[in-house]
């Protein structure tokens, strides 16, 4: 990473902040689009736009090049896990899950990175990281149950979509772990262009097998605005800004910006969707962020750098 000061550093912070703001608002945009079309249509349209934006960026930066067949197969697996399946989980979840709840749960991804690092890579956790994992779990319970953990005893786990959001966090952690080797050989933006493109192709199969293109005509101007925001801003411009910022600032500083994402999601959801900001949600969110901070600050937390490089598992 190049050493920068002054104007370049300010630009990096601005780009990182822009990416986090956009990703935080993505949950709200998705819920708006889902009022008019099905989840698979939202995913397909979003990534059609995202692939176009990233494709132009990769071409203009002269990082577009063919990759070996073996690498292409790796990208295909990543596209299936990180784009098709991940977005299927989150889009279907947001049909019923609150945008603010989703933002808080997705913030736990580094916790699952630590758990995977222990199970797969035999990385040491240590007492502080274990405490962070436990705290994050308590925070998720508080957020999902709206401050009433006793509901779990009755088999209730928040909204029906909350469980899918919980699954999406470790799924993004798996995607991040699988991406490690590819990130060592390819610039992140090139890898994501391939991964996003292949993931979009897989989502095309789901679209054809499901509603097809007939739903697209149902989108109103508001719906198109939400989809365009998801595709152009969230899956295109935000990733470009994020990668550019990572070249000019330490991963630790970039990771700190990601703590703002669930706060943005909660605030925008309250403003645009009328979701209530409750004491339980704020308290649970604070516990989650503190737990994640403990996991990331402890020795052995280097595995989280791949997750930071790829951005959060945003909707």
Give tens-digit pLDDT for 24-78: 999 999 999 999 999 999 999 999 999 999 999 999 988 888 999 999 999 999 9
Whether the Cβ atoms of residue 161 and residue 64 lie closer than 8 Å to each other: no
Tell me how many domains the chain contains: 1
Residue 184: domain span:
6-310
Residue 88, domain member (yes or no)? yes
Q: Give the mean pLDDT of 132-146.
A: 90
- pLDDT for 71-128, tens place per residue? 999 999 999 999 999 999 999 999 999 999 999 999 988 888 888 878 876 777 888 8
Structural element, H or E, at residue 117: helix 109-121
Residue 260, domain member (yes or no)? yes
Q: What are phi and psi of 26, to 5 degrees?
A: -65, -35
Residue 204, domain member (yes or no)? yes
Q: Looking at 80-89, 210-219, 228-237, 251-260, which range is the least confident one?
A: 251-260
Residue 236, domain member (yes or no)? yes
Residue 315, domain member (yes or no)? no
Is the pLDDT at 7 greater than 50? The verdict is yes
The pLDDT, as a whole number, for residue 1 is 44
Is the pLDDT at 2 greater than 60? The verdict is no
Is the model more confident about 146 or about 11?
Answer: 11
Residue 1, domain member (yes or no)? no
Whether the Cβ atoms of residue 304 and residue 110 lie closer than 8 Å to each other: yes
Whether the Cβ atoms of residue 314 and residue 261 lie closer than 8 Å to each other: yes
| CB neighbourhood size of 152 (10 A) | 13
């Amino acid at each position: 990473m190049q050493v920068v000061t002054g104007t370049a550093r300010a630009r990096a912070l601005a780009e990182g902040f822009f990416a986090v703001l956009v990703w935080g608002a993505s949950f709200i945009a998705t819920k708006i689009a889902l009022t008019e079309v099905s989840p698979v249509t939202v995913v397909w349209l979003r990534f059609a736009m995202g692939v176009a934006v990233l494709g132009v960026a990769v071409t203009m930066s002269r990082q577009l090049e063919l990759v070996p067949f073996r690498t292409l197969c790796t990208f295909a697996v990543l596209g299936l896990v990180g784009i098709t399946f991940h977005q299927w989980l989150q889009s279907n979840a947001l049909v019923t899950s609150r945008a603010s709840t989703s933002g808080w749960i997705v913030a736990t991804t580094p916790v699952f990175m630590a758990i995977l690092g222990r199970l797969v890579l035999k990385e040491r956790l240590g007492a502080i990281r274990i405490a962070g994992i436990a705290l994050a779990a308590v925070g998720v319970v508080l957020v999902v149950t709206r401050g009433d953990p006793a509901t779990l005893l009755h088999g209730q786990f928040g909204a029906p979509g909350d469980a899918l959001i919980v699954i999406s966090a470790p799924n993004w952690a798996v995607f991040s772990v699988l991406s490690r080797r590819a990130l060592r050989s390819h610039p992140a933006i090139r890898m994501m262009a391939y991964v996003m493109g292949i993931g979009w192709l897989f989502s095309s199969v789901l679209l054809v097998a499901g509603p097809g293109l007939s739903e697209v005509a149902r989108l109103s101007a508001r719906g198109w605005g939400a989809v365009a925001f998801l595709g152009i801003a969230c899956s295109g411009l935000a990733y470009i800004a994020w990668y550019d910022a990572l070249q000019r600032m330490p991963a630790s500083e970039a990771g700190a910006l990601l703590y703002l994402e669930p706060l943005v999601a909660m605030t925008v959801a309250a403003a645009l969707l009328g979701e209530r900001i409750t004491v339980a949600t704020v308290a649970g969110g604070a516990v989650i962020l503190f737990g994640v901070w403990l996991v990331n600050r402890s020795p052995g937390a280097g595995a989280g750098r791949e997750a930071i490089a790829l951005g959060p598992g945003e909707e």
